[in-house]
């Protein structure tokens, strides 16, 4: 049986299609209106906002670091300069395989694992992948040649020229001038980010750190046009940076060379001051180190060798070395006795070779065990008689000694521009109660009177104390800076001058110090032989290890580093001082035989004509 045939309703299908077309047209119209409205909102209503964003996307401000100011000695010898240096830079976006590139660099340049790790760390610190990041500094000619020959194998690797800090005299002024190094995270958090934009280095120690603001300069800027990836297309505007100021120090390279040669290979410190100005003429802390090692980053091996050395080359003995001053402060004790009225110039003390407090059995020994008999003040200073000063210290008491010593700068920071300086220690009753929770004992007063016991001073403080004696109490803060681009430093907070009840006491004490050098009984007469000028000074010996009661000091029985330190302070010419010197020779034992001859060579070099000036090398001589 045949099935019935159904005819299709075309009119119904056409209606469905028509409705769908109308709906789609409405949706298109709505979307078009939305798009037009959005375009109107963005391009008309928010035109200023988006035009600013577009300009910022196109134009960037890049910092231009300033050149660091140079440092000179008083004669124009360069102590710190900026030298061109070849560095290896890597642009990360141009390097297809960083690991392979570093492996190749290691073999071509003979780099150690430590060098490669340091370079990789520096590369990760780069912010933008299209910016070259310096990862190695101070490339040699051979290394540059290797990179040039293999350039086709090292995409993204290039040699660039930049200026880095250089210290021509290396270790000779390391402790005075200091050094710069790369800015670390702690410093980055504290410095002005705008002022140091584009700068990688900052002063770490010494003059480089103290005068950082002067030496650094003012950053400049470039307004550059970039593409969408941030690559620079052209420079639109440039504001040049202002270089840091060049500074000149009071230091004298020739005198520094004399001091180092006189000290020889011994550990110690020498500092010379011009009494009239307070300018530091020589600043030797021996042994030293090469500050150039620290500029671009010192290796672990090099730093470990410096850090672990028994001779402590990184230790600034002039500013941070704390030593008992020994007999180098006896002239101050004598002056305190005269000015306070507890003794007179003519008062004498009998010395049997020791001193005893009333009702005490302990004997405080004189260095001359046989004794010097009846001793006057002038003789006691020249002879460095301990018994006389035990007696005088007992009469003065610790409170008066503390007052006079601090007026001479002992136990206080005395410098103007040496931030690393230690304050030292001038003990007192109050200090011992607070620090030791103990009372002050009379015997401690006696040994303080000869510069032993708790008392600790730096070589700089000793130099300042003898400069004050040369100046007859007029204070001039020791300073390294002579001027910055012709502008002298403003020295503030200078202590009050030392005024005596009888100003003639200055001449008396200085006369006794001259006897130390020129009298037959003076402890340093051998150092002044044949001198064409008069000098004044005081020798000293500082104990390193205690000697038991009744025992004698035996140098041969002690290890070299346990032997006494040798000290000397002095100035010349005695009648019109031009130079004051403090010398400390670690474990040198005798101030008169070891330390005083060092000072004599400085006196001669500064006061007498020298047809062949001492120098570190030909560069300094020129």
Active-site annotation, residues: 327
**CA gap 46, 67 in Å, rounded:** 44
Element (H, E) at 318: helix 317-320
CA distance 199 to 345: 62
Strands 247-249 and 71-72: parallel
Question: Comparing C-alpha atoms, which of 209, 510, 557 is closest to residue 377?
Answer: 510
Cα–Cα dist 452/468, whole Å: 21
Cα 371–373–376 angle (5° rounding)? 115
Q: Are 69 and 215 in contact (CB under 8 A)?
A: yes
Query: Looking at residue 311, what DSSP letter applies?
Result: T
Neighbour tally for 357: CB within 10 Å: 17
Nearest partner of 462 among 603, 595, 610, 265, judged by Cα? 595
**What is the rounded CA–CA span in Å between residue 98 and residue 155?**
10
| DSSP 8-state assignment for residue 44 | I
Q: Which long-range contacts (CB under 8 A, 24 or more apart) does 125-128 make?
A: 126/92, 128/230
Spell out the residues 6+ positions from residue 136 whose beta carbon is closer than 8 angstroms to its own. 87, 88, 109, 115, 119
Angle between helices 141-149 and 98-109 (to 10 degrees): 130
Q: How far apart are CA 352 and CA 365, in angstroms?
A: 9
For residues 13 and 239, give the distance between their C-alpha atoms in angstroms, rounded to a whole number: 76
Q: Are strands 280-286 and 565-572 parallel, antiparallel or unpaired?
A: unpaired
Whether the Cβ atoms of residue 538 and residue 512 lie closer than 8 Å to each other = no
- Backbone angles phi and psi of 279, in degrees to 5: -70, 135
| Cα–Cα distance, 286 to 263 (Å, whole number) | 8
Q: Which residues are bridge partners to 180 per DSSP?
A: 203
DSSP 97: -
Closest CA to 167 of 180, 150, 182, 153: 180
């Amino acid at each position: 049986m045949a099935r019935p045939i159904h005819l299709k309703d075309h009119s119904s299908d056409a209606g469905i299609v028509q409705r769908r077309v109308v709906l789609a047209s409405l949706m298109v119209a709505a979307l078009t209106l939305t798009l037009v409205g959005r375009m109107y909102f963005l391009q008309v209503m928010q035109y200023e906002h988006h035009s600013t964003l577009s300009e910022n996307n196109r134009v960037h401000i890049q910092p231009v670091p300033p050149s660091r100011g140079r440092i000179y000695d008083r004669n124009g010898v360069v102590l710190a300069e900026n030298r061109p240096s070849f560095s290896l830079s890597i642009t990360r976006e141009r390097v297809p395989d960083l690991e392979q590139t570093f492996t190749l660099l290691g073999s071509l340049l003979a780099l150690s694992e430590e060098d490669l790790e340091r370079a990789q760390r520096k590369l990760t610190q780069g912010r933008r992948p299209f910016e070259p990041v310096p990862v190695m500094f101070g490339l040699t000619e051979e290394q540059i040649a290797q990179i040039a020959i293999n350039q086709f194998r090292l995409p993204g690797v290039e040699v660039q020229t930049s200026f880095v800090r250089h210290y021509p005299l290396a270790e000779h002024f390391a402790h005075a001038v200091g050094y710069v190094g790369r800015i670390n995270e702690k410093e980055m958090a504290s410095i002005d980010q705008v002022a140091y934009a584009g700068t990688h280095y900052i002063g770490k120690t010494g003059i480089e750190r103290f005068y950082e603001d002067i030496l650094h300069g003012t950053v400049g800027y470039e307004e550059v046009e970039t593409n969408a990836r941030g690559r620079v297309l052209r420079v639109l505007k440039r504001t040049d940076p202002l270089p840091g100021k060049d500074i000149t120090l009071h230091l004298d390279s020739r005198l520094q060379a004399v001091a180092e040669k006189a000290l020889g290979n011994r550990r110690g410190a020498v500092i010379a001051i011009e009494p009239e100005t307070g300018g530091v003429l020589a600043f030797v802390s021996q042994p030293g180190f090469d500050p150039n090692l620290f500029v671009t980053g010192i290796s672990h091996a090099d730093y470990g060798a410096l850090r672990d050395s028994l001779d402590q080359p990184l230790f600034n003995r002039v500013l941070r070395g704390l030593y008992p001053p020994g007999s180098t402060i006896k002239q101050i004790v004598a002056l305190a006795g005269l000015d306070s009225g507890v003794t007179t110039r003519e008062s004498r003390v009998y010395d049997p070779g020791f001193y005893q407090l009333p009702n005490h059995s302990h004997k405080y020994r004189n260095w001359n065990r046989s004794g010097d008999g009846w001793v006057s003040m002038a003789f006691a200073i020249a002879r460095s008689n301990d018994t006389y000063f035990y007696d005088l210290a007992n009469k003065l008491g610790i409170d008066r000694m503390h007052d006079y010593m601090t007026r001479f700068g002992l136990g206080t920071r005395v410098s103007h521009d040496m931030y690393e300086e230690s304050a030292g220690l001038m003990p007192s009753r109050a200090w011992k109660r607070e620090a030791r929770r103990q009372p002050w004992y009379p015997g401690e007063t006696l040994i303080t009177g000869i510069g032993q016991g708790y008392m600790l001073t730096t070589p700089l403080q000793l130099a300042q104390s003898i400069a004050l004696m040369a100046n007859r109490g007029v204070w001039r803060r020791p300073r390294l800076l002579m001027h910055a681009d012709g502008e002298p430093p403003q020295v503030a907070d200078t202590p009050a001058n030392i005024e005596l009840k009888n100003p003639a006491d200055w001449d008396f004490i200085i006369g006794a110090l001259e006897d130390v050098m020129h009298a037959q009984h003076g402890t340093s007469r051998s150092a002044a032989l044949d001198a064409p000028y008069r000098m004044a000074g005081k020798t000293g010996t500082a104990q390193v290890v205690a000697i038991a009661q009744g025992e004698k000091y035996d140098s041969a029985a002690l290890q070299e580093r346990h032997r006494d330190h040798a000290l000397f302070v002095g100035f010349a010419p005695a009648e019109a001082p031009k130079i004051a010197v403090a010398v400390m020779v670690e474990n040198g034992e005798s101030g008169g035989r070891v330390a005083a001859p060092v000072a004599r060579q400085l006196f001669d070099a500064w006061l007498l004509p020298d047809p062949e000036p001492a120098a570190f090398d030909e560069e300094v001589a020129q």
